[in-house]
Amino acid sequence: MQKKEIDWANLGFGYIVTDQRFVANYKDGAWDAGHLTADPNVTMNECAGVLQYAQTVFEGMKAYTTVNGQIVTFRPDLNAKRMVDSAKRLEMPAFPEERFLEAVTETVRANAAYVPPYGSGASLYIRPYMFGINPVIGVKPADEYQFRVFTTPVGPYFKGGVKPLTIRVSDFDRAAPHGTGHIKAGLNYAMSLHAIVSAHAAGYDENLYLDSATRTKVEETGGANFIFVTKDHKVVTPHSDTILPSITRRSLMYVAEHYLGLEVEERDVYLDEVKDFAECGLCGTAAVISPVGKIVDHGEEICFPSGMEKMGEITKKLYDTLTGIQMGQIEAPKGWIHVIE
Ligand code: PLP
Ligand code: COI
């Protein structure tokens, strides 16, 4: 198959229209069979539930070309399950997990020419999502929904690739106890836009959100979970019911323990103790592992010993092992790699 003429090495994290996307509709209590379409546009009523009350959830995944030339996805079953959890919380009908996997496979296959080649540093980002599409004016769930999957080739999420980031402790909250922080709802991202725009304007790459109940514990950023490394090489990640259960973070904790033989801890992480860590990273599908060099808390700088030039030693080992598994250079735990073709 002839790949598209794209400057893979210089891709940023943006939207590039690809050839095909998957669409299925939910009406009268059932999902239809769905189909691929070349039309990237969605037509809906002016009063659609998603437009009025933000009834929409999504997922983020990637397809990679492995060292053997196969196109694969990474733990897609966990995305399928998380999307069911997200949908339920917003009173939307679940898109069946098996069908989710088929739709992702079908869409990636139809856009195989856009899957970046092995070694290019880029990947094909996959965005499954669903939304309420029929008119809704009183506050209630829609009756009709659309599920879609599109793909777009991407490079690094943060400009500068793996250069350490500077982030700030945000005065805004991301999620409330018993709210929607643990699901991938569009509304969580809409309310983070003001915080990210003001962080960028002030020269920061991202926001560190604290738990909104006590404002003493580290939660996550707008689009990634945290991992920290102690000076004696323990890998620590915040435990919280109000953060997104990152598939990358769960995988990294497994890799730390079972591939690198490190001690791991998922627990409350207090802002006060962050200064004692040796390394810090943001992890997620888009972020992969992006090292953090500095956290600024209202003028007070927390500078990690790993510095502003390169990833910390353990973060780098985690990064190399995880990406090695995704690219087929390192044997994956059973069930982690889903071969598309
Ligand atoms: N946290 C938030 C708020 C996110 O949007 C994401 C991205 O999906 C993550 C964490 C990382 O999750 P995952 O590793 O499953 O992509
Ligand atoms: C992802 O990592 O897939 C996300 O959805 C995060 C988003 C901020 C791009």
Mean pLDDT of 230-234: 97
79 C-beta closer than 6 A to ligand 1: no
Residue 123 CB–ligand 2 contact under 6 Å: no
pLDDT at residue 65 in the model: 97
**In this predicted structure, what is the pLDDT of residue 316?**
97
Q: Which ligand places an atom closest to the C-alpha of 74?
A: 1
Residue 128 beta carbon below 6 angstroms from any ligand 2 atom: no
Spatial contact of 23 and 37, defined as CB atoms under 8 Å apart: yes
- Beta-carbon contacts of 241 under 8 Å, excluding residues fewer than 6 positions away, are 177, 181, 182
Dist. CA 90 → ligand 1 center (Å): 18
In the chain, what are the domains? 8-154 (3.30.470.10), 165-322 (3.20.10.10)
Residue 51: the pLDDT is: 98
**Active site (catalytic) residues:** 184
Confidence of residue 162 (pLDDT cuts 50, 70, 90): confident
Residue 66: which of 325, 335, 334 has the closest Cα? 325
Interval between CA 156 and ligand 2 midpoint (Å): 11
pLDDT of the residue at 159: 81
CA gap 148, 57 in Å, rounded = 11
Ligand 1: atom nearest CA of 250 is 14
Cα–Cα distance for residue pair 202/23, rounded to 1 Å: 40
Whether 294 has a pLDDT exceeding 80, the answer reads yes
For the segment 111-123, the average pLDDT, to the nearest whole number, is 96
Q: Which ligand 2 atom minimizes the distance to the CA of 184?
A: 5
**CA 223 – ligand 2 centroid, Å:** 5
**pLDDT greater than 80 at residue 161:** no
Which one of the ligands is nearest to 226 CA? 1
Reported as a pLDDT band with limits 50, 70 and 90, residue 160 is confident
Strands 21-27 and 279-284: unpaired
Residue 284 CA, closest ligand 2 atom number: 2
Give pLDDT, residue 303: 97
pTM beyond 0.85: the answer is yes
